[in-house]
């Protein structure tokens, strides 16, 4: 059902600007698909614009992402046809595309971008990952990037990510909007008196730092510290057998436990029982899981990658370490295990920052302002922060 047209400042009805959102939706569940779901379900955005949605998702499971199949080719052709047909029959004011930065997914998305270019539609790309700078010197990628970014706008999660696209887009075509998540009632924190309870919650991937955290736990055990580390997440390129083998080899069975993927109330239990959240990711843009931890008043230890230094304020809401550095990670963990008052101070500061910057309502309002600015939907709206 189309939203009601808005009313301008002069009192006359204005036709809502038409936006085609081409984005990821669950399943599978990952950061980009979660944000896509938030946008599609947002009453605020749907009431401000004439919104239409096409899902980019061609995989039903995380394990299927990046894998070739004939079915995916057929689904891709269907996706291109849906976009082409919609643009042929509708005059859109803006095309919003969740664009991958590299790999096969980028070239799939580039095909959609070129279709919008063919119809001369104004386009904005919303990036949830990074990596363009790593590929921009490759001949084919450079040609594709130049074609895709010509006359386009980009929506980044943080100014810290601008260097990734600096070669192709000037600052006046780049907008910034931090992710946000829904505010949920949080179970009261039940701190562990005897052992510091450490939580890792993400997909069980090497890129998320799973192996680095196991190594850090081995170093903490050697120090004689009292702790327990819970790993919560779906098995991925670190499988259950490999994980248990490493835990046993390092004699960490009494210190480390895996629980698989947890959702809803089951996931909330782990947050409420944790004293410290550790996320030693090796490659990240803007992880939603850190926002969840801050909402639960947990101090955070993470890495200096992507926009994480914008989320985690060093010595205020948590600690930051170099990626792939288990020794440095263990040192930071050791400090917070020994300093419960510092943990409490970081957790309270993180919760305050979450409430001020990272709620879903704040995200929706910022995104609405940016989309209004680009489409000219409401000249009275304040400009987005550049």
DSSP string covering 273-288: H-SEEEE--SS-S--H
Give the pLDDT of residue 191. 61
Q: For 142-164, what is the mean pLDDT? A: 98
Give the domain CATH number at 299: 3.40.50.2000
Q: Which residues of 261-279 are buried (b: 16+ CB within 10 A; e: fewer)?
A: ebeeeeebebbbbbbbbbb
SS3 61: coil
Residue 142: pLDDT above 90? Answer: yes
Going by their DSSP bridges, the two strands 50-55 and 318-321 should be labelled as unpaired
Q: For 237-246, what is the mean pLDDT? A: 97
Same domain, yes or no, for 343 and 367?
Answer: no
Lowest mean pLDDT among 117-126, 190-199, 316-325: 190-199
Encode pLDDT of 290-326 as tens digits: 999 999 999 999 999 999 999 999 999 999 999 999 9
Same domain, yes or no, for 282 and 164?
Answer: no
Can you give the residue range of the structural domain that contains 335?
A: 196-358
DSSP conformation class of 100? -
Query: Distance (Å, rounded) from C-alpha 348 to C-alpha 297?
Result: 6
Question: Is 189 among the domain residues?
Answer: no
Query: Distance (Å, rounded) from C-alpha 2 to C-alpha 16?
Result: 10
**Of residues 317 and 10, which shows the higher confidence score?**
317
Same domain, yes or no, for 136 and 274?
Answer: no
Give the pLDDT of residue 381. 39
Would you say the pTM of this structure is higher than 0.95?
A: no
Count: domains in the chain: 2
Encode pLDDT of 90-120 as tens digits: 999 999 999 999 999 999 999 999 999 999 9
Q: How confident is the model at residue 64 (pLDDT cuts 50, 70, 90)?
A: low
Query: Distance (Å, rounded) from C-alpha 248 to C-alpha 265?
Result: 30
Same domain, yes or no, for 350 and 221?
Answer: yes
Which residue do the tokens 């990626």 mark? 323
| Percent above pLDDT 70 for the chain | 90
Question: Is 167 among the domain residues?
Answer: yes
SS3 7: strand
Half-sphere exposure of 323 (CA within 13 A, CB side): 16
Question: Is 187 among the domain residues?
Answer: no
| Percent above pLDDT 90 for the chain | 85
Give the pLDDT of residue 62. 57
Question: Is 386 among the domain residues?
Answer: no
Query: Distance (Å, rounded) from C-alpha 176 to C-alpha 199?
Result: 30
Q: Could you tell me which of 109, 97, 98, 91 has the C-alpha nearest to residue 50?
A: 91
Over its C-alpha atoms, the chain yields an Rg (Å, rounded) of: 22
Give the pLDDT of residue 5. 40
Mean pLDDT of all residues belonging to the chain: 92
Residue 379: pLDDT above 50? Answer: no
Q: For 16-32, what is the mean pLDDT? A: 93
Same domain, yes or no, for 110 and 55?
Answer: yes
Going by their DSSP bridges, the two strands 256-258 and 227-232 should be labelled as parallel
Q: For 201-222, what is the mean pLDDT? A: 98
Question: Is 5 among the domain residues?
Answer: no
Cis, bond preceding 302 (omega within 30 deg of 0): no
Longest Cα–Cα distance of the chain, Å, equals 72
Same domain, yes or no, for 171 and 205?
Answer: no
Question: Is 6 among the domain residues?
Answer: no
């Amino acid at each position: 059902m189309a939203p009601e047209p808005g009313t301008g400042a002069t009192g006359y009805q204005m036709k809502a600007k038409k936006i085609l959102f081409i984005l990821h939706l669950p399943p599978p569940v990952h950061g980009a698909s979660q944000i896509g779901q938030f946008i599609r379900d947002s009453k605020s955005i749907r009431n401000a614009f004439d919104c239409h949605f096409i899902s980019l998702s061609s995989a039903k499971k995380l394990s299927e992402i990046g894998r070739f199949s004939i079915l995916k080719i057929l689904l891709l052709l269907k996706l291109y046809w849906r976009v082409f047909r919609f643009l042929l029959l509708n005059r859109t004011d803006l095309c919003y595309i969740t664009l991958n930065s590299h790999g096969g997914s980028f070239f799939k998305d580039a095909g959609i971008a070129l279709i919008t270019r063919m119809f001369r539609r104004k386009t904005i790309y919303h990036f949830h990952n990074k990596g363009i700078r790593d590929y921009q010197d490759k001949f084919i990628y450079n040609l594709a990037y130049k074609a895709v970014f010509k006359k386009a706008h980009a929506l980044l999660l943080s100014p810290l990510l601008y260097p990734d696209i600096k070669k192709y887009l000037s600052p006046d075509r780049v907008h910034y909007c931090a992710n946000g998540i829904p505010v949920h009632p949080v179970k009261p924190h039940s701190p562990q008196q005897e052992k510091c309870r450490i939580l890792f919650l993400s997909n069980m991937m090497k890129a998320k730092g799973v192996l680095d955290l196991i190594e850090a736990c081995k170093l903490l055990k050697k120090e004689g510290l009292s702790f327990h580390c819970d790993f919560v997440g779906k098995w991925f390129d670190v499988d259950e057998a490999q994980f248990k083998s490493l835990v046993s080899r390092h004699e960490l069975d009494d210190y480390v436990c895996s629980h698989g993927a947890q959702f809803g109330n089951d996931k909330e239990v782990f947050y409420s029982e944790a004293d410290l959240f550790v996320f030693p990711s090796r490659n990240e843009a803007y992880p939603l899981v850190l926002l969840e931890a801050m909402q639960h008043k947990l101090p955070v230890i993470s890495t200096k990658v992507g926009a994480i230094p914008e989320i985690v304020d060093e010595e205020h809401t948590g600690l930051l370490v170099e990626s792939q550095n288990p020794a440095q990670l263990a040192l930071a963990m050791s400090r917070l295990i020994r300093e419960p008052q510092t943990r409490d101070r970081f957790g309270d500061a993180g919760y305050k920052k979450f409430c001020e910057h990272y709620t879903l309502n704040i995200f929706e309002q910022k995104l609405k302002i940016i989309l209004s600015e680009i489409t000219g939907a409401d000249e009275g709206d304040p400009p987005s922060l550049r």
